Homo-oligomer: A and B are copies of this chain.
Amino acid sequence: MNIAEVGRQYGLSTDTLHYYERIGLIPPVTRNKSGFRDYNKLDCAWVYFIKCMRTAGIPVKVLINYVALFQKGDRTRPIRKKILIEQRELLAKRIAEMQKTLEKLDLKIANYDTTFFEYEKKLAQEEIA
């Protein structure tokens, strides 16, 4: 798979794929005889993993560190696991916060359907609560 195909597949620009590899966010990608990137299954798996993690808001720095540790082999497994657990917790917290905000938004949207006077009444009740 060439870089354009991979970009299409995962919704990343070729610039971004270049960038990710350059900064070590994904390990060096397999090349063909003319030096062009030829993503194999494993390369694609990395791209996909990183894309998910980035979309979830996990910082580039953390992921670079994770990838670097991965490349150092098996003896870094415990640290890598710890990093994943840490990030899992942070992610769970972010999701919980966003879920709350979603509910607030739903309330606010519902308020847009109430008349001004109903709204005033609601406010007064909140005042009490």
Min distance, Cβ A58 to any Cβ of chain B, angstroms: 8
Encode A30-71 as 1/0 by CB contact (under 8 A) with B.
000000000000000000000011011100000000000000
Binary B-proximity of A72-113 (CB < 8 A = 1, otherwise 0): 001001001100110110011011011111101110110010
Copy count, this protein chain: 2
- Interface size of A in residues (CB-CB distance below 8 Å): 30
A112 and B80 contact, CB distance less than 8 A: yes
CB-CB under 8 A from A105, the residues of chain B are 84, 87-88, 91
Q: What is the CA–CA distance of A75 and B87 in the complex, to the nearest angstrom?
A: 45
CB of A102 within 8 A of CB of B98, answer no
Cβ 8 A contact of A112, one of B57, B84, B87, B100: B84
Docked-complex contact A53 and B84, CB < 8 angstroms? no
Docked-complex contact B102 and A84, CB < 8 angstroms: no
Task: Tell me the smallest distance from the CB of A42 to a CB of chain B, in Å.
Answer: 10
A-B contacts, 6 of them at CB < 8 A, read A52-B100, A56-B101, A81-B109, A88-B105, A91-B102, A95-B98
| 8 closest A-B pairs by CB | A56-B101, A81-B112, A88-B105, A52-B101, A56-B98, A84-B109, A95-B98, A91-B102
